Amino acid sequence: MTTENDSRRLFPSTLRLSGHGLVLREWTDDDLPVMAELFDDPEIAYWTPLVSPFGLQAARDYLEKARRSRVTGQRVHLAITTDGDRAKGEVLLSLSMWDDGTGSLGYAVGAAYRGQRLAVRAVRVMRDFAHTTAGLSQVFLEIERDNEASIRVARAAGFQLTDAPPSVVEDKGRTLSLFTWSHSRP
């Protein structure tokens, strides 16, 4: 999707996706306490770039940043739900880091909701949206070698480890080697 005056892909003004027993919906201001509860977690702090501790102010800042990146067409953040209401995590699609026609996914699931295959189901729904509606030819995941849970998600969602060398980044005082997993449009 593009506008006449801008070649960047833009997301629909409202977005609600469903599939695999999930409803992925927009975050709202009413979600701020739940967002703080979900993301103020040592595992999420370790494996993601989210700040820690993650309280209400961090949730407000994060939601505002997510809304700005949505308006610019860079990224869309959706709450993972099973009923369209209570958020249990997040999945996001980013268009800005990759070549035209590609994007990357990220996700986080709250500690109380792990073990329900929410991440793999959310990745599948967002992957399908990326290929069909957003028209992306490839979707990527970047995963640390030791992040066994995310590697299982990638494999279960049909992603393949690429031969690309890992990208090395610094985050929260750690040096990360992120390996690229890819899924091509069928």
8 has a pLDDT exceeding 80: no
Burial of 115 (0-12, 13-18, 19+ CB in 10 A): exposed
Give the whole-angstrom CA distance, residue 81 versus residue 60: 20
**Distance between the two ends of the chain, CA-based, in angstroms?**
19
Q: How confident is the model at residue 6 (pLDDT cuts 50, 70, 90)?
A: very low
- Tell me: the pLDDT tens digits for 25-69? 999 999 999 999 999 999 999 999 999 999 999 999 999 999 999
Q: Is the pTM of this model over 0.85?
A: yes
Domain count of the fold of the chain: 1
Residue 148 three-state SS: helix
> Taking the alpha carbons of 22, 107, 143, 125 in that order, is the dihedral positive or negative?
positive
Tell me: the pLDDT tens digits for 59-117? 999 999 999 999 888 999 999 999 999 999 999 999 866 567 899 999 999 999 999 99
For the stretch 120-170, pLDDT in tens is 999 999 999 999 999 999 999 999 999 999 999 999 999 999 999 999 999
Domain housing 22: 2-184
CA dist., res. 22 & res. 35, Å (int):
18
What pLDDT was estimated at residue 2?
39
